[in-house]
Amino acid sequence: MIKINLLSEGKRPVVARRARQPVGARADLGNTLLIAGTVLGLLVAGGWWFLLDREIKKKDREIAAAQREVDELAQVIKEVEEYKAKKAELERKITVINDLKANQRGPVRIMDEVSRALPELLWLSRLNVTAATISLQGTAFNMSAVANFLDNLDKVEEFAEPILADATQRSQRGARTETYDFKLNVGYSFTKKSTEAPAAGEAGASAGTTGSAAAARVGDGRGVDGVE
- What does pLDDT average to in each consecutive run of 10 residues of the chain (228 residues)? 55 51 64 83 87 89 90 90 92 84 73 91 92 92 93 92 90 73 90 46 41 38 44
Q: Which residues pair with 183 in a beta bridge?
A: 137, 166
Q: What is the CATH number of the domain that holds 125?
A: 3.30.1360.100
- Domain for residue 47, yes or no? no
Residue 206 in 3-state DSSP? helix
- Domain for residue 98, yes or no? no
- pTM beyond 0.85: the answer is no
Q: What angle do CA 17, 19, 23 make, to 5 degrees?
A: 105
- Domain for residue 73, yes or no? no
- Domain for residue 100, yes or no? no
Number of domains in the chain: 1
- Domain for residue 45, yes or no? no
- Domain for residue 96, yes or no? no
- Domain for residue 21, yes or no? no
Q: Which residues contact 53 (CB under 8 A, 6 or more apart)?
A: none
Domain that holds residue 138: 106-219
* pLDDT reported for residue 45: 87
- Domain for residue 180, yes or no? yes
